[in-house]
Every structure is written in structure tokens, then in C-alpha cells.
């Protein structure tokens, strides 16, 4: 991986160029990194890839118009050329803009941040990584009913620099990995599968801590062989931390991203300072949690990662912002400007979003349910920032008269997001976070989502 030798003093000339061209704001981002990708099907390698890349982009703004241009070489001549292209695109875009606004200044800092690796990813050979993945795959074969396994592994590390016209300079070194596993079990013509992922930011130590993913996934797949199909109807449900996180991220979080609010697309567009959930409902997006996959010490516009309270005691109190949306709404940016790579413009994105835990135990919550389901994980679903959602659970357990009984499959929950927030009646004191990737406008970024066990009254369940 090529190191980026540029410093703030090397980029000062861009501020003069911006003034000469009447550019109100610019942000230049440099990146150099390398990745490793493995895919194994039934213990056989389907693909193995290792890549190295570098590049930079300039984002420019003037009179309501934005421009983005990309380059490869970190030379002054190349930077000047790409900068001029971005300025021309911004001025062209401004001709078709319906409104002008000022980008509020950010603090004048020079900052370095590095995600520490206990075991550096590049100190481990490709052979050793593959051998370890094959060992994990073998661990899934705990029963002869296990007929198929599929592992996807990715790791990467990068150095990034961002600099803007406010003389804000940030250098970051990042690293992390993600491990996905699917296991298929089969018996008497019946086939069931289960999927789990583990990962985090840091080094190879994360993979070593994730070895139990195989047996955990296999046990769940085997359990589903004895599952009964879900019956449709209305039930009280308890969502586990994974499903709680999925609901908060997918059904609610995207609606709280300020670009959708400004566009009038979000169900939350007219709800600021209004009661939208029970008193026990507090929802937070927090880019400062260092051990979570969405850790964002500085976003891609150089803004400090922050703990942003979106809902407090059931009341909508904030949105997630980048510089553009914060300037339009007259508030401070929240460190939620994130881009998939230097070729992409930073969008308003979540970091680590979660439903704040309560003070109940899972046993106490189960005792409250006379006829319901304990819902575990999810397989797929859809949601709209206009307020509707549907998630198919990975599995569920029937709860009868306060006791967990039969395992259930093919259950799906659906409803209206704000209606669900008003029917949350209990939250557990324990909570968990899951790593993953979130897509928006063709861009995918690493995120964390989670919450406690969540008891919701009268949920619509689809089944067979």
C-alpha cells in the first residue's frame, strides 16, 4: 500500500485557487488502500482476490451547484487539473440549481487518527488466512445433516486524507474485516439454512475471535429442521437485539437522514419536537463507539464523529446531517457524511445506530406474553422512508402463557414504523450490536446496528 506523503502545507494553494474561481466550498479526499477477499463453498475456494488501489477526488460547491472530479496521481499538476474540473462542474450545476445556500465553516484543525491492529492484517499471509477459514468451515460439520457451507471473508486497510477550504486537515488510518457464513441443513427432503456475520475494526485478531461463527450457524440451521410454519395473525412479539437493530436502522434510521427529510420524502419531515414513540424509546446514532463497525472518528467531510440523539423519551429531537443538509436547515453537522470511496460524493449515512436499552430482563418480558413470538434475526425485507416495512425473521419461538415453546419458521413482521414505536412496551437491560454494510444511492458503507430485546404489542405476522 502506497503511503500518502502529502501534508496540509502541500494543499494550501487550493484555497487560493478556490478564491480565484469563486468557489464557496471544496473538499479534497485522498485514499490509498488494499483489500483481501475470499469466498469458499463447501470448503472449496470459489474466488480469492487481493487488490491495491489509490486515488483522490475533489468536491466543489458554488451558488447551489456541486461538482465532483477524480484523479489518480498525487502530484501538484494532477491535483490542480482535477480541482479545475470539479470547479467547472460545480459552476455548470449551479446554472440548474433552484436555491443557493452557504456551507457553514468547520473548525480549523490538523488531526491524525489510527485504528489500532493488535495483529496487523498484512502480517498474516494469504495462505494462513485461507487455512484458518478452512478450519472454521470444518467446525460447521457438527452433524451429518449439514450438507452445505458458504463463507465470504473480506479485510482491508487504508490511509485517507481530507482537506477543505476551511484549512481543516485530517489523516486517518483504518482497518477491519467482515466474515459472513451460511449453513444449509437437510433431512427427509426438508432443507433449511441460516446466516450469520461477524466482524469489526482492527486487525486479524477479529477473525480469531469469530471462530465460533461456524458452530453457531450450524446449530441454528439444524434447529430449523424441526420448526413449524408460522401462522398469520396479530401477536405480541419480542424482537431480539439483531432484529431490533434491523428495525431501527432500516425502518427508522433512513427516515432520520436529513437529505430525505429536506426532500419531503421522509415520514419524519414534519415531526420535529413531536411525540413519535413511547417514553421508553430513545434512538441514538453514535460514530464514536470505537469497537463497532460504524466507528467514524471523522466523516468524509472532516467533521468529528458524534453521538447524535435522534429520539429522546419518545420525542423526535434531531436528524443526521452532512455539511449541505446542516447548512440548509441552519444546524450543526453531525459527522454523518460518508462515501463508499473517493469516487463517490459523501451522503448522509448512519454510523452505529441503536435503540437505547431499558431495565427489564428477557425472562420478565417472556412472562408478559400470553400468545406471541420471540423473533430472532432476519433474512430479508423491505422498508420505505414513507413509513412501511416488512422483515422476514431468521427464526422465531412461539410463546404460550409466558413460556417459550416451539421453534417457528417463515414468519414475517410488517407494519408502519411510527405505529410500532408507539407500541413498544418493554426493553431489556442487555443489548448487542451487529456489523454490516448499508446501501444507499448505489453506495455501500460499513455500519453497526443494534438494541435490546424489544416487546411490541399487536404486531401483524405473516406466515403460511
Give the per-residue pLDDT at 463. Answer: 65
Does residue 458 have a pLDDT over 80?
A: yes
Q: At what angle do helices 76-94 and 13-20 cross, to 10 degrees?
A: 30
Of the residues 224, 247, 280, the one at which a domain ends? 224
Give 109's pLDDT tier (boundaries 50, 70, 90). Answer: confident
281 CB contacts (<8 Å, ≥6 apart)? 311, 313, 314, 355, 421, 424
- What is the model's pLDDT at position 455? 98
Burial, 307: exposed, middle or buried (Cβ in 10 Å; 0-12, 13-18, 19+)?
Answer: middle
Q: Which pLDDT tens digit goes with each residue over 30-82?
A: 999 999 999 999 999 999 998 999 999 999 999 999 999 999 999 999 999 99
Residues 106 and 120 in one domain: yes
The average pLDDT across 264-280 equals 96
DSSP string, 133-170: HHHHHHHT-SSTTEEEEEEEEEEEEEEEEEEETT--EE
pLDDT band at 110 (very low <50, low <70, confident <90, very high): confident
Check whether 87 has a pLDDT greater than 90.
yes
**pLDDT range class, residue 28, cuts 50, 70, 90:** very high
3, part of any domain: no
Residue 2 located in a structural domain: no
Task: Give percent above pLDDT 70 in the chain.
Answer: 99
- Each residue of 217-263: pLDDT tens digit? 999 999 999 999 999 999 999 999 999 999 999 999 999 999 999 99
Closest to 83 in 3D by CA, of 32, 30, 33, 31: 30
> To the nearest 10°, the Cα dihedral for 201, 206, 212, 214?
70
Which grid cell sits at 264? 419531503
Q: What is the CATH number of the domain that holds 197?
A: 3.30.2290.10
3-state secondary structure 371-427: EEEEEECCCEEEECCCCEEEEECCEEEEEECCEEEEEEECCEEEEEHHHHHCCEEEE
Lowest mean pLDDT among 93-102, 119-128, 199-208: 93-102
**1 domain-assigned:** no
Task: Give the CA dihedral 311, 317, 321, 325, nearest 10 degrees.
Answer: 140
Look at strands 403-409 and 395-400 and give their pairing: antiparallel
Provide mean pLDDT across the span 281-306.
95
Mean of the pLDDT values across residues 444-448? 96
Residue 105: the pLDDT is 84
**Are 192 and 232 contained in the same domain?**
no
Retrieve residue 217's grid coordinates: 450457524
Determine whether 16 is exposed, middle or buried from the number of CB atoms within 10 Å of its CB (0-12, 13-18, 19+). Answer: exposed
Same domain, 208 and 240: no
- Relative orientation angle of helices 126-139 and 213-224, to the nearest 10 degrees: 30
Residue 45 domain flag = yes
pLDDT score for 3: 87
Instruction: Read off the pLDDT band of 416 (50, 70, 90).
Output: very high
The residue whose grid cell reads 453531525 is 334
Averaged over 368-390, what is the pLDDT? 90
Share of the chain above pLDDT 90, in %: 92
Residue 205 has a pLDDT of 96
Distance CA 147, CA 149 (A): 7
- pLDDT at residue 464 greater than cutoff 70: no
Instruction: Look at the chain and report how many structural domains it folds into.
Output: 2
State the Cα angle at 299 between 298 and 300, rounded to 5°: 125
Is 399 exposed, middle or buried (CB count within 10 Å of its CB: 0-12, 13-18, 19+)? buried
Q: Do 109 and 169 lie in a common domain?
A: yes
Mean pLDDT of 423-439: 95
Please indicate, yes or no, whether residues 380 and 424 belong to a single structural domain of this protein.
yes
Same domain? For 65 and 194 the reply is yes
pTM: 0.94
Q: Do 142 and 233 reside in the same domain of the chain?
A: no
Q: Is residue 210 part of a domain?
A: yes
Q: What is the mean pLDDT of the chain?
A: 95
Can you give the residue range of the structural domain that contains 28? 8-224
202 and 325 part of one domain: no
Between residues 104 and 377, the one the model is more confident about: 377
Same-domain pairing of 112 and 29: yes
Amino acid at each position: 500500500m502506497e503511503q500518502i506523503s502529502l501534508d496540509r502545507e502541500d494543499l494550501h494553494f487550493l484555497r487560493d485557487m478556490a478564491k480565484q474561481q469563486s468557489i464557496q466550498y471544496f473538499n479534497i479526499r485522498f485514499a490509498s488502500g488494499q483489500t483481501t477477499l475470499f469466498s469458499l463453498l463447501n470448503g472449496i475456494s470459489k474466488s480469492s482476490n487481493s487488490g491495491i488501489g489509490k486515488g483522490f477526488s475533489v468536491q466543489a460547491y458554488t451558488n447551489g451547484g456541486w461538482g465532483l472530479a477524480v484523479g489518480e496521481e498525487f502530484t501538484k499538476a494532477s491535483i490542480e487539473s482535477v480541482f479545475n474540473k470539479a470547479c467547472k462542474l460545480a459552476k455548470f450545476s449551479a446554472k440548474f440549481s433552484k436555491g443557493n445556500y452557504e456551507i457553514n465553516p468547520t473548525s480549523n484543525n490538523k488531526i491524525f487518527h489510527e485504528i489500532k491492529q493488535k495483529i496487523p492484517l498484512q502480517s498474516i499471509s494469504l495462505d494462513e488466512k485461507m487455512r484458518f477459514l478452512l478450519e472454521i468451515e470444518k467446525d460447521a460439520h457438527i452433524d451429518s445433516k449439514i450438507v452445505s457451507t458458504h463463507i465470504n471473508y473480506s479485510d482491508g486497510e487504508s490511509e485517507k486524507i481530507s482537506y477543505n477550504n476551511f484549512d481543516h486537515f485530517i489523516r486517518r488510518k483504518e482497518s477491519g474485516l467482515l466474515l459472513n457464513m451460511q449453513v444449509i441443513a437437510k433431512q427427509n427432503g426438508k432443507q433449511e439454512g441460516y446466516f450469520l456475520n461477524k466482524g469489526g475494526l482492527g486487525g486479524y485478531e477479529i477473525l480469531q475471535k469469530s471462530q465460533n461463527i461456524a458452530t453457531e450457524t450450524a446449530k441454528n440451521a439444524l434447529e430449523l429442521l424441526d420448526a413449524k410454519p408460522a401462522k398469520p395473525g396479530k401477536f405480541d412479539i419480542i424482537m431480539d437485539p439483531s432484529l431490533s437493530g434491523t428495525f431501527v436502522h432500516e425502518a427508522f434510521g433512513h427516515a432520520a437522514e436529513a437529505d430525505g427529510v429536506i426532500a419531503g420524502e421522509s415520514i419524519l419531515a414534519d415531526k420535529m419536537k413531536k411525540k413519535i414513540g413511547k417514553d421508553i424509546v430513545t434512538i441514538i446514532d453514535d460514530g464514536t463507539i470505537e469497537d463497532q463497525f460504524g466507528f467514524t472518528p471523522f466523516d468524509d467531510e472532516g467533521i468529528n464523529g458524534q453521538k447524535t440523539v435522534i429520539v429522546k423519551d419518545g420525542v423526535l429531537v434531531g436528524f443526521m446531517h452532512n455539511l449541505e443538509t446542516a447548512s440548509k436547515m441552519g444546524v450543526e453537522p453531525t459527522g454523518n457524511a460518508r462515501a463508499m470511496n473517493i469516487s463517490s460524493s459523501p451522503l448522509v449515512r448512519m454510523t452505529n445506530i441503536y435503540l437505547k436499552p431499558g431495565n427489564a430482563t428477557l425472562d420478565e418480558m417472556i412472562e408478559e406474553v400470553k400468545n406471541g413470538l420471540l423473533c430472532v434475526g432476519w433474512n430479508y425485507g423491505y422498508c420505505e422512508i414513507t413509513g412501511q416495512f416488512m422483515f422476514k425473521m431468521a427464526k422465531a419461538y412461539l410463546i404460550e402463557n409466558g413460556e417459550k415453546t416451539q421453534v417457528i419458521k417463515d414468519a414475517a413482521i410488517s407494519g408502519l414504523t411510527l405505529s410500532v414505536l408507539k407500541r413498544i412496551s418493554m426493553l431489556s437491560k442487555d443489548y448487542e450490536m451487529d456489523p454490516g454494510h448499508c446501501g444507499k444511492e448505489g453506495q455501500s458503507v460499513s455500519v453497526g446496528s443494534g438494541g435490546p430485546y424489544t416487546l411490541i404489542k399487536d404486531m401483524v405476522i405473516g406466515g403460511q
